[in-house]
Structure 1
Amino acid sequence: MKYLLPILASAAYATAQSVSGSAEGFASGVTGGGSATPVYPADEAELEDLLSSEGEQVIVLTKTYDFTGTQATGTACYSWGTGEGCQLILQDDCGDTPSTTVTYDAAGKTPIPVASDKTLLGVGSEGVIKGKGLSFTNDVSNIIVQNIKITDLNPHYVWGGDALTFDGSSNIWIDHVETELIGRVHYVFGYNANSAVTLSNNFLNGETTYSTSCDGYQYWGMELVGEDDQITFKGNYLYKTSGRAPALSGSTKFHACNNVWSDNNGHAIEGNEQGQGLFEGNVWQDVTSVISSSTWEAGDMFLSSADGTGNDACASYIGRNCASSIYTNDGGDYTSYADVSWLGDWSGLTIADCQEASEIESSVPGSAGNTL
């Protein structure tokens, strides 16, 4: 009988050794580690070594890899108040802002670099990386991350860590990933171009113990500052955020379809005049303001209507009408975001199919995240 358990374990993990589905939209065709023999990192050190190694790898996570406990001390500023639920910011010079000396996890500030041609898979809900994020930088490409959870990156402290960092990457597919209790940003795209990126079926969980608003709603959702980034954002669930969800702060081409934003007590979209956002077939549920006039400059933006009015304007550019969206308990008027002429810049890009919002409203919240 002592040999039976390894056999049963191997059978249970067999379904997690291959990728489920394929990338839609801009990252279509990504293969990651391909058909490489799956490997199971024994500990945190081996996980880091495998992810940063050369060549194709399929890396399977069957447990929690805990990087917390590497303590460091530093100065933190009370930039948003001194209440129990307020975030502090790790910063050497606080100026006139009150400050204190704090202890935090050093590991959270240094994400794990992921090399090209990698597939990272989690088994059920067991594949968890605690206390560290992942980074895709320095021209890495052809990477798949699916069905994992990233959590506990110094949630008390801004600059305590980012969950997923992209800077000069291409052909990256992030799918069925949950991020929670993140000190700074869940998804951050640096200044170097990130092309052919698809973020799908992910759960951006903004419910947190500490926040800039001191109320458990996270402001630091998605910061997109890259030059000519190309991001497909489909089937994701964003919960209890208050801003930067996303922030189109660079010249980003951002296609958001069939996502659900729920319980946002601030605003969702912000950015500058360079960003291009195509938002269709989405559900905006209890979002105080989809776009904040105080944080959005006159960039290129299309928000599909709820009743279909004007959605046929998309057909000339993407070959179909844009899918209708749902706006529930939302206080804004977004009829001015109806111009799509700028979609001429998207010629040659692979545009994901998009369903009407009514078809995905109930399914996305339950299926997003590490639910495979």
Structure 2
Amino acid sequence: MSLNLKLFVALLATSRVCLPLEPRSDMAGTTGGEGSTAAVPSSTDELISWLGDDTARVIVIDKTFDFTSTEGTVTGDGCIPWTCTPGAQIAINLNSWCDNDQPNAATTTVTYNKAGISGISVGSNKTLLGKGTAGWIKGKGLRIAGSSNIIIQNVRFSDINAEYVWGGDAIAIDGGKNIWAMFTDLSTIASDPLSVQRRWPTISCNWLWAAEGVTISDNVFDGNGDYSPLCDGHHYWTLYFTGASDTITFARNYLYQTSGRGPKLGGVSSYSQTVHIYNNYFVDITDHALDAGPGSKAIVEGNYFNTVVRPSTDGNTGQVFAPIDTTTSAQCTSALGRSCVANIMLSSGELANAEDTSIIGSFTSSAVTAATVMTASEAASYVQSNAGTGVVN
């Protein structure tokens, strides 16, 4: 048993919770800083140094590391793409986005915290572990660019230039392999809390590079905030997976009070994203959850959509299979060796553009065929009790 798995099991025993987190096929090969002695950084500078070096490390954070004002502020050009009130997000003219994508928007001057724009570089063979609910990175995110074997667990990320689009991501993956982000809390982020690319998101996977063997599980995406494109207090830029050749598991996450990109997949037809989305709980989504664009394939199973206006967008060219009953679920059997699990929609719209059975044969890896998928009702109950920080230790 690896050091990280031993630590994880010990934390579970301490917390007296029962979590379905036995070694999973989607985590194979992800050991983080296995073999190194856990250490606690004393300052933001030391945290940056340890995360970015070439040494295998288990880094434990037991307090708030506030980067908000560490790099000063920047004043520059921006634009106003949305004119609703109150709380419309303003966009930073980063890489001339306002000029090229919003030429008709009113221009303005923006002042933002520089630290939020670029994430902390994370090298290979790292475990970043928060202690209890105390591990908090504020005002800055993480950037993984081609690194591998990384575990991010039980850490809160927040307050990254929330007023501004292009103000920063919580976790941006610009290519990499064997990356596992779990039990994090993400809130008040400018763009996507998690992006597997490097363009908009809170969590994102890169526009140019491949992100292979990425697992995003047991996290809380809290979209409640003062700023959004829709002026409804619901964060829009949630997750963006659009790398060159991504393989991603998105499981047991809790998304609430968002309005879009939950997640956004694809966008370039020559790229590919193969994404297994299961046992997530979506609630109070004022526009859409899944948005599957060109190049993407997704099996969506065992998810619970509660008061979601559009569980998935229609009219896009992404390929999605999302069963809604036992008949459609059974169509997985020949390829996966098991039935898929039906999704549930409560007071929600339809799972549009989600009946493409031709893609099921693309999901024959053990990460999918051997996945333990709860029913949607079981997942809703489990996720509300167990996702986010402070659960495993």
Alignment TM-score > 0.5, same fold = yes
Paired residues for 1:77-88 under 5 Å: 77-81=79-83, 83-88=85-90
The answer on 1:187 being equivalent to 2:203 is yes
Q: Which amino acid aligns with 2:259?
A: S
Q: Is 1:171 equivalent to 2:171 in the alignment? A: no
Secondary structure at 2:327's aligned position in 1?
Answer: coil
What is the Cα deviation at residue 25 of structure 1? 4.4
Q: Distance in 2 between the 1:23 and 1:72 partners?
A: 45
Between 58-67 and 316-325, the greater mean CA deviation after superposition: 316-325
In structure 2, what is the equivalent of residue 238 of structure 1? 255
Q: CA deviation at 1:278?
A: 0.5
Question: 1:77 is paired with a residue of what secondary structure?
Answer: strand
The AA in structure 2 aligned to 1:208 is G
Per-residue deviation, 1:235: 0.6
> Cα distance, 1:22 vs. partner?
5.7
1:147 equivalent in structure 2: 154
Cα 1:19–1:143 shift into 2, 3 Å: farther
Say which of 326, 333, 355 aligns to 1:308: 326
Q: Is the 8 A contact 1:269 1:291 kept in 2?
A: yes
Q: Which moved more, 1:359-368 or 1:343-352?
A: 343-352
How has the CA–CA distance of structure 1 residues 126 and 16 changed in structure 2, closer, same or farther, with 3 Å as cutoff? Answer: farther
Q: What's the RMSD between the two structures over aligned residues? A: 2.0
Partner of 1:119: 127
Q: Counterpart amino acid of 1:258?
A: N
Q: How many residue pairs are counted as aligned between the two chains?
A: 354
- In the alignment, the residues of structure 1 paired with residue 354 and residue 115 of structure 2 have an alpha-carbon distance, to the nearest angstrom, of 42
CA distance in 2, matches of 1:218, 1:129: 19
Q: Where does residue 233 of structure 2 map in the other structure?
A: 216
The one-letter amino acid paired with 2:43 is D
Cα separation, partners in 2 of 1:333 and 1:18, compared to 1, 3 Å: closer
Deviation sequence 1:151-206 (CA, Å, 0-9, x none): 00100000000111112200001010111101011111112110001001001111
Residue 85 (structure 2) pairs with residue 89 (structure 1): no
Distance in structure 2 (CA, Å) of the matches to 1:59 and 1:357: 35
Counterpart of 1:322 (choices 326, 340, 347) is: 340
4+ runs deviating over 4 angstroms: 14-23
Q: Are the equivalent residues in 2 in contact too, given 1:22–1:28 (CA < 8 A)?
A: no
Q: Please give the secondary structure, in 2, of the residue aligned with 1:256.
A: strand
Distance 1:37 1:333 in 2: 47
Change in Cα spacing, 1:102 to 1:234, as seen in structure 2 (3 Å) is same
2:247–2:273: 8 Å Cα contact kept in structure 1? yes
Aligned partner of 2:199 in structure 1 is none
Q: Secondary structure at the match of 1:370?
A: coil
More deviation in 187-196 or 26-35? 26-35
Find out whether 1:30 has 2:46 as its counterpart.
Answer: no
Matching of residues 194-209 of structure 1 within 5 Å: 194-209=211-226
Question: Is contact 2:321-2:360 (8 Å) kept?
Answer: no
**Percent of paired sites with the same residue:** 36
**Deviation sequence 1:86-115 (CA, Å, 0-9, x none):** 100001555442222222110000100110
Length-normalised TM-score, structure 2 = 0.85
Amino acid at match of 2:322: L
- Report the alpha carbon displacement of residue 18 of structure 1 after superposing the two structures with TM: 6.9
Whether the 8 Å CA contact 1:23–1:29 is kept in 2: the answer is no
SS of 1:366 mapped into structure 2? helix
Give unmatched runs, 5+ long, in structure 1: 1-13
1:347: Cα distance to partner?
A: 3.3
Q: Secondary structure at the match of 2:132?
A: coil
Among candidates 236, 254, 257, match of residue 278 of structure 2:
257
CA distance in 1, matches of 2:185, 2:58: 20
Does the 8 Å contact 2:321/2:359 carry over to 1? no
Q: More displaced, 311-320 or 16-25? A: 16-25
Letter matched to residue 164 of structure 1: I
CA drift of 1:35 comes to 3.0
Alpha-carbon distance in structure 2 between the residues aligned to 1:165 and 1:22: 27
Deviation of the 1:280 alpha carbon? 0.4
1:204-237 Cα distance to aligned partner (Å, 9 max, x none): 1111110011111111011111122000011100
1:340 aligns with 2:357: yes
Q: Which residue of 2 aligns with 1:359?
A: 378
Residues 130 and 153, structure 2, Cα contact 8 Å, conserved in 1:
yes
Q: CA deviation at 1:48?
A: 0.3
Q: Deviations over 1:39-82 (max 9, x none)?
A: 10101110000001112100000000000122111122111116
- Written as runs of structure 1 = structure 2, the 5 A alignment for 1:2-151 is 21=21, 24-69=24-69, 70-81=72-83, 83-91=85-93, 94=99, 95-137=103-145, 139-151=146-158
Q: Residue 303 of structure 2 aligns with which residue? A: 282
Judged with a 3 Å threshold, the aligned counterparts in structure 2 of structure 1 residues 312 and 175 are, in CA distance, closer, same or farther, namely: same
User: Would you say the 8 A contact 2:135–2:154 is kept in 1?
Assistant: yes
Partner-residue secondary structure (3-state), 2:91: strand
The alignment partner of 1:317 has SS state of helix
Q: Residues of 2 paired with 1:25 and 1:244: CA distance?
A: 26
Q: Which stretch shifts more, 346-355 or 166-175?
A: 346-355
- Pick closer, same or farther for the CA change 1:124–1:321 going to 2, 3 Å: same
* Cα distance between partner residues in 2 of 1:343 and 1:315: 9
